[in-house]
Amino acid sequence: MEQKRTLRVFLAVSLLCALANAYPQYQAVIPNGSSVPNPCNTSQIAQGVGHINFQGTGPLNPFGEDFKAAGKQWTTDLCDMDSDGDGRSNGVELGDPECVWSQGETPARTTDLSHPGFDEATVSC
């Protein structure tokens, strides 16, 4: 009896964790995908870079829409785009200014990152 209860609690917690981090596998598909600062609190990481909600759920932001249109892959075209219209390409924001990064590699830059889906100067938090 106690084991069934423990299993139920474990499954519920697992489901909540899965929902909170909707698609963490996409973090590995873009450069520095697990290190993009939350534009509303740069001491935190944006868990869902492609979503309006920084935790990674719900509607997509402009970068998420472009990522989806690119087949959910990091392409040269996606890298060159300026999804959030802040004057910096997605590649510059994510540390791949030359658009040469491939999955599994260390990006050219791993610091001074910014969010490709929100213009930090105008985002409302």
Considering the complex, state which of residue 66 and residue 84 has its C-beta at the smaller distance from Ca ion. 84
96 binds Ca ion (CB under 5 A): no
What is the maximum alpha-carbon separation in the chain?
60
Q: Of residues 30-89, which lie at the interface with Ca ion (CB under 5 A)?
A: 82, 84, 86, 88
Q: How far is CA 33 from CA 1, 7, 81, 90, in A?
A: 42, 32, 17, 12
Cβ at position 62, least distance to Ca ion in Å? 9
Q: In the complex with Ca ion, which residue's Cβ is closer, 82 or 96?
A: 82
Q: Which residues contact 79 (CB under 8 A, 6 or more apart)?
A: 89, 90, 91, 96, 99, 101
Q: Give the shortest CB-56-to-Ca ion separation in angstroms.
A: 19
Buried/exposed code over 54-64 (b: 16+ C-beta within 10 A; e: otherwise): bebeeebbbbb
Asked whether 59 and 51 are in contact (CB, 8 A), the reply is yes
Residue with smaller CB distance to Ca ion, 8 or 68: 68
- Would you say 66 or 86 has its CB closer to Ca ion? 86
> Does position 97 bind Ca ion by CB under 5 A?
no
Q: Which residues bind Ca ion (CB under 5 A)?
A: 82, 84, 86, 88
